[in-house]
């Protein structure tokens, strides 16, 4: 039988053959050797926020919430508004007075020029439009003016309350040539120039 010394020598030789060669000095690990350094990265999408929008219920305006990009533009707010109610909202009788093509983002050819004052049918001046960063300009479609007056008022109220809830101070409506136009308001008023949430506040559903 082999001696204990012979067996120990055989075991030593086997371990030496399987050993990993060490390094005399420590060295930093290169990026390719670092398992935590992965080539894949996580992309962060655009930041969004919840904002109040306005729909129609029982011929009045009610609040709904929508997710829109942070600091939304006129175009982004109108697009979310024109998408209409969700299926759950529609099942509760909530609808929109707006149709595709009714309203869209517009511009003012000479933003440094003061626009007309907002007046009522009695001619009393209420507000004056000044060129300001938080002014939303909305273009009114040609077919919109052919719709029933009460639906125009609800649709305009939806847009004004939504845009002012989304961070704009006031709204001005323009025609296809980007010229300011007068629009109907509640209680038989005619509004032109700078229009604020207060002009359509009476349309909110009171509970």
The tokens for 27 are 């060295």
- For tokens 């904002």, name the residue: 51
Quickly count: other Cβ atoms within 10 Å of residue 6's Cβ. 10
- 41 belongs to a structural domain: no
CB 129 within 8 A of CB 172: yes
**List of E strands, 5-95:** 48-57, 60-69
> Considering the entire predicted model, what is its pTM?
0.67
- The mean predicted confidence, pLDDT, of the chain is 76
List pLDDT tens digits, range 121-146.
333 333 334 444 589 999 998 888 88
Q: Highest-confidence range of 15-29, 45-59, 98-112, 184-198, by mean pLDDT?
A: 184-198
Residue 41: what are its φ and ψ, rounded to 5°?
-125, 155
DSSP state of 34: -
- 34 belongs to a structural domain: no
CB 74 within 8 A of CB 138: yes
List pLDDT tens digits, range 27-39.
554 545 554 454 4
Q: Cα dihedral sign for 147, 151, 156, 162?
A: negative
Determine the pLDDT at residue 24: 52
- 121 belongs to a structural domain: yes
- 30 belongs to a structural domain: no
The tally of domains found in the chain comes to 1
Closest by CA to 68, choosing from 162, 191, 174, is 162
Burial of 186 (0-12, 13-18, 19+ CB in 10 A): middle
CA–chain centroid gap for 134, Å, is: 15
- 144 belongs to a structural domain: yes
CB 94 within 8 A of CB 54: no
- 107 belongs to a structural domain: yes
Determine the pLDDT at residue 108: 57
- 153 belongs to a structural domain: yes
The tokens for 55 are 């729909």
Determine the pLDDT at residue 145: 85
Residue range(s) defining the domain that contains residue 197:
48-203
List pLDDT tens digits, range 66-117.
999 998 999 999 999 999 999 999 999 999 999 888 888 776 544 433 444 3
- 114 belongs to a structural domain: yes
């Amino acid at each position: 039988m082999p001696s204990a010394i012979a067996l120990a020598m055989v075991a030593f030789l086997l371990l030496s053959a399987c050993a990993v060669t060490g390094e005399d000095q420590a060295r930093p690990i290169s990026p390719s050797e670092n398992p935590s350094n992965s080539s894949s990265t996580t992309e962060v999408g655009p930041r969004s926020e919840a904002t109040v929008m306005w729909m129609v219920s029982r011929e009045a305006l009610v609040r709904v919430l929508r997710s829109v990009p942070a600091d939304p533009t006129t175009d982004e707010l109108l697009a979310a508004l024109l998408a209409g109610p969700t299926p759950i909202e529609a099942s509760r009788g909530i609808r929109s007075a707006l149709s595709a093509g009714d309203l869209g983002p517009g511009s003012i050819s000479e933003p440094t020029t003061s626009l007309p004052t907002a007046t009522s049918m009695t001619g009393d001046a209420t507000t004056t439009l000044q060129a300001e960063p938080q002014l939303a300009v909305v273009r009114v479609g040609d077919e919109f003016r052919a719709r029933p007056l009460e639906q125009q008022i609800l649709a305009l109220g939806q847009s004004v309350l939504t845009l002012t809830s989304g961070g704009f101070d006031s709204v001005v409506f323009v025609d296809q040539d980007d010229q300011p136009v007068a629009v109907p308001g509640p209680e038989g008023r005619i509004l032109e120039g700078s229009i604020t949430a207060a002009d359509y506040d009476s349309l909110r559903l009171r509970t």
